[in-house]
Amino acid sequence: MELLHSGKVRDVYQDGEDLILVASDRISVYDVVLPTPVPDKGKILTRLSLWWFDQLADLIPHHVISATDVPEEWAGRAIRCKRLRMVPVECVARGYLTGSGIKDYRRDGAVSGVSLPPGLVEASRLAEPIFTPSTKAPMGSHDEPMTFAEVVSSVGPDLAAHLRDITLAVYRRGAEIAAERGLIIADTKLELGWDADGTLTLGDEVLTPDSSRFWPGDEYEPGRVQFSFDKQYVRDWSLSTGWDKTGPAPEVPEKVVEVTRARYVDVYERITGTRW
């Protein structure tokens, strides 16, 4: 097999016409890979994504061919998948105002060009989920917000509308399922591309702690930062060190690694209903 790409978290190999997507235990924040891995993280993300792909299959096709027909050394953390021609847009849906969204709102009263009503606070639930796309920056650089008009200029009006509609549909389905399990999905990021037949297809990972923010529903209280099951804990720790969000990133303390792994396991078990 040929290594095609080594990303922030995943390594991509070519095996004939298929790709082997391997999820490592690396963790990245602010588009920079931290030097300390989180044990089992790749396996948790892979298994959770596979569960979600099944839940979303009626909304959009996914890229998975097999979760078992992979090299033995990567068993549990790799999938055999279709090769996609990726859409040059990060597709993001937000149902709650947090992260970079609340920063943009405080500055502009809008997120990615979507005007929002006055008076919203940290973690406010939005009246309707919104599509807040961003650029796809190369490794080591930061994604930048895009307006819908900029997406239209990049990919055309029909595809831009389709990306928006699919992203919001996936978010709504995910949020509904998570709510039944006592969780809030504040926002999520999707990767979409075209398969060999030209069909728009869901790729990479979906609705995992690396691509989404998960909050406990019974502790939700707008106006403050929420307890988070995802890598927000690592983001918060990294900022507390005074790190400037550029490489090289600092080593992660053992306790932060342990807590992060426990949160990944917890959200996996709550969502799927199965023990890790």
Taking the C-alpha atoms of residue 91 and residue 191, their distance in angstroms, rounded to an integer, is 7
Mean pLDDT of 100-107: 96
Taking the C-alpha atoms of residue 138 and residue 92, their distance in angstroms, rounded to an integer, is 17
Separation of CA 146 from chain center: 17
Query: Is residue 3 included in any domain, yes or no?
Result: no
Query: Is residue 271 included in any domain, yes or no?
Result: no
Percent of the chain whose predicted confidence (pLDDT) is above 70: 98
Q: State the chain's mean pLDDT as an integer.
A: 94
- Residue 27: strand, helix, or coil: coil
E strands present in the chain = 2-6, 10-15, 18-23, 28-29, 32-33, 64-66, 78-81, 85-86, 91-96, 110-111, 114-115, 125-131, 183-194, 200-203, 212-216
The pLDDT of residue 141: 56
Taking the C-alpha atoms of residue 207 and residue 187, their distance in angstroms, rounded to an integer, is 9
The pLDDT of residue 2: 95
Query: Is residue 26 included in any domain, yes or no?
Result: no
The pLDDT of residue 139: 55
- pTM for the complete prediction? 0.92
Query: Is residue 23 included in any domain, yes or no?
Result: no
The pLDDT of residue 247: 87
Query: Is residue 128 included in any domain, yes or no?
Result: yes
CATH of the domain at 119: 3.30.470.20
Residue 140 has pLDDT above 90, yes or no: no
Taking the C-alpha atoms of residue 206 and residue 77, their distance in angstroms, rounded to an integer, is 14
The pLDDT of residue 251: 95
**pLDDT tens sequence across 18-34:** 999 999 999 998 889 99
Mean pLDDT of 200-213: 95
Between vectors from CA 140 to CA 192 and to CA 32, what angle results, nearest 5°?
90
The pLDDT of residue 138: 60
Between vectors from CA 159 to CA 158 and to CA 164, what angle results, nearest 5°?
105
Query: Is residue 202 included in any domain, yes or no?
Result: yes
Least confident of 80-89, 169-178, 223-232, 265-274: 223-232
Query: Is residue 209 included in any domain, yes or no?
Result: yes
Domain total for the chain?
A: 1
**pLDDT tens sequence across 259-273:** 999 999 999 999 999
Separation of CA 23 from chain center: 13
The pLDDT of residue 31: 83
Neighbours of 207 (CB within 10 A): 27
Query: Is residue 260 included in any domain, yes or no?
Result: no
Three-state secondary structure readout of 136-157: CCCCCCCCCECCHHHHHHHHCH
The parent domain of residue 225 ranges over 85-244
Q: What share of the chain is helix, strand, coil (3-state, %, to 5)?
A: 35, 25, 40
Residues 6 or more apart whose Cβ sits within 8 Å of residue 213? 96, 98, 99, 185, 186, 187, 188, 228, 230, 232
Mean pLDDT of 178-191: 97
**pLDDT tens sequence across 110-135:** 999 999 999 999 999 999 999 999 98
